[in-house]
Structure 1
């Protein structure tokens, strides 16, 4: 069975928001900045300090987020500032779910092995709901 977690997008406020959420909900905060990712050397100093990924465990779930990069054409507005992040139990299940959700939708990032070690892709389904499929790659 897969797990589902909410994924939020912010316009430069992800770290501030999550420190606030942590002050209310508790938990250990994980923050990774854009400057830690390959290929971000050309970003402005301000965008390098934006959050690439932040996670806050809440019970058996994880609240996650990132900051949008305006230089890459991303904008956080109501309606696109969230994703449903789905973590299937296998790579095959990740492929099956991704392809099914992509039918009639728009693939934002194809499923592929990522630099952080997981198999990841994102899309908007035919109903306008945004999904992230992330399989914790144990095949390599």
Structure 2
């Protein structure tokens, strides 16, 4: 690959990897952690569609968060006794919490069979509230 193509590619990749700015003391920050072989993205904040991959920093107070969680599930047995390829399952998880200013939070999720399990955690990793499954399936 010619060198003239490598420089723009390197600049593009480093632009995506910049760190987040420091948290302002009058806001709360919510991170997302879906572990391996899964993907989690911000979906709704207080009923409004979020058009980013993560939530914006939140003013303190009660907020409703929804995330789109996509994970891999094992394939099923086919008619000839063969196991089909793993599939992706998509679910919407929701939670409500009274967020405190200056605090960092994290929404974590994992799969338990075909069902997702999610929690809101504080910066110390303590579980604060369990997320509810709003819906799962195609078109989610």
Q: TM-score range by the shorter chain?
A: under 0.3
More strand by share: 2
More helix by share: 1
How does the TM-score come out when normalised to structure 1? Answer: 0.26
How does the TM-score come out when normalised to structure 2? Answer: 0.26
Kindly name which structure, 1 or 2, has the bigger radius of gyration based on alpha carbons: 2
